[in-house]
Amino acid sequence: MALFTVGLNHTTAPVELREQVAFDAQCLPNALVQLTEQFPGIREGAILSTCNRTELFLAIDDAVEPEVLSWLASYHSVDAETLAPHVYVFKALDAALHMMRVASGLDSMVLGEPQILGQFKDAIRAARDAQTCGTELEQAFSKVLAVAKRVRTETPIGRNPVSVAYASVNLASRIFSDLSLCKVVLVGAGETIQLVAEHMHGQGVHGIDVVNRTLANAETLAASIGGYAWPLTELANRVQDADIVITSTGAPVPVLGKGMVERAQKVRRQKPMFMVDLAVPRDIEPEVDELDSIYLYTIDDLQAVVEEGLGQRQDAARQAEILIGEALDGWQREIRGYRAVDTIKQLRDTAQVLSEQELVRAMKMLEAGRSADEVLAQLSRNLTNKFLHAPTVALRSAAEQGDLSLLEATHRLFSIDGTEESD
């Protein structure tokens, strides 16, 4: 068996091409069955498909390299020649190494991002449901998930913010002991605010207010996190209830002025309010920072946090690479050990046949009236001669031909002290 991986990701293909070869959850079972049935050499298969990558993890016969690229292109009606320059292929331990790096977040667009591990597990689950994941891939996935867990628990790979969206939520968690108890207002509905919303939701924050000039966009985002959508005209009322306000609208002038925040704080009786302005130009007037009990941060303030977090993640990534290397070495030793299994079985079977033959001969000698001592001595001599006949002939032949490697191997194999004398 050999592992075989074919894929493309954010480093090898533009998003326009990645979109064309993505698998949605509905078509995945059929795709897996088709893939494993179309190629006799493919024993098992799984597919990982995210916005940043599409990868096929396969268990194949050693002598086979299936034309998976052609299948992938045909399945998605994409020209194979267009696809080929963007595709990478890994086999055997290189495939195992790649899978470990992917599951550990080392191959992600955002270094160390945690979502990929869940997506990897979803891919495994889908393959199991489609019955295309058997013993060989299960064993590989077990190794991959084990090292990914070690990377998560033994290194700080995902603990430091590397985006302003994550940094804003991380900073809020330092000010408020329990974010889930906070009322959060997000102003805007673009990509940055979407990321903030996902991070907040992941921290257990519920009932988030999403305020946006275009209400439909606010409604789409709010629905994805179980929040509430409001038009921009409701901003003043929403801020009165807010412990945390994060903005990123792209508006040419501030949408939150000092007066609006002052009025909100009177209603709130000066309870602390954490505010983050991720927009350029600014969404929140700088003068807001002059108000008591207001903690206002801009994108420039967070950039230093992001740079620090990125440096820490890079240090953690180096630690993770060491863990992966250790796991891969262990896996390689296991694979080498498997190669001896058939040989050991054959050796034992041969010895068992010889033993049974000599036992039958010994029983006949006893039945013929020969003494037990004589029979046991003969049995011992016969077993020794039979077991060592073939190795003795091979060793003598190797010595005559000047090949000492077999002699040295025999010393190691049978723990024989001393070395053979040679000219």
- CA 289, 293, 296, 302 dihedral sign is positive
Contacts of 275 (CB under 8 A, 6+ apart): 244, 245, 246, 247, 256, 261, 284, 288, 294, 295, 296, 297
Residues 72 and 80: their CA atoms lie apart, in Å, by 8
Neighbour count for residue 416 (Cβ, 10 Å): 11
SS3 content of the chain, % helix, strand, coil (to 5): 60, 15, 30
Decide: 98 and 4 in contact? Cβ < 8 Å. no
Residues 407 and 382: their CA atoms lie apart, in Å, by 24
Contacts of 328 (CB under 8 A, 6+ apart): 93, 96, 97, 100
Q: What are phi and psi of 294, to 5 degrees?
A: -110, 130
Q: Kindly report the CA angle at 278 between 273 and 279, in degrees rounded to 5?
A: 120
Q: Kindly report the CA angle at 361 between 360 and 364, in degrees rounded to 5?
A: 90
Q: What are phi and psi of 55, to 5 degrees?
A: -135, 140
Residues 121 and 34: their CA atoms lie apart, in Å, by 21
Q: Which of 27, 51, 133, 182 is labelled catalytic?
A: 51
- CA 404, 408, 410, 413 dihedral sign is negative
Is 27 a known active-site residue? no
If you count them, how many residues does the chain have? 423
Structure tokens at 148: 């990914």
Residues 150 and 153: their CA atoms lie apart, in Å, by 5
Q: What are phi and psi of 334, to 5 degrees?
A: -60, -45
Closest by alpha carbon to 199, among 241, 176, 219, 170? Answer: 170
Decide: 218 and 230 in contact? Cβ < 8 Å. yes
Residues labelled catalytic: 51
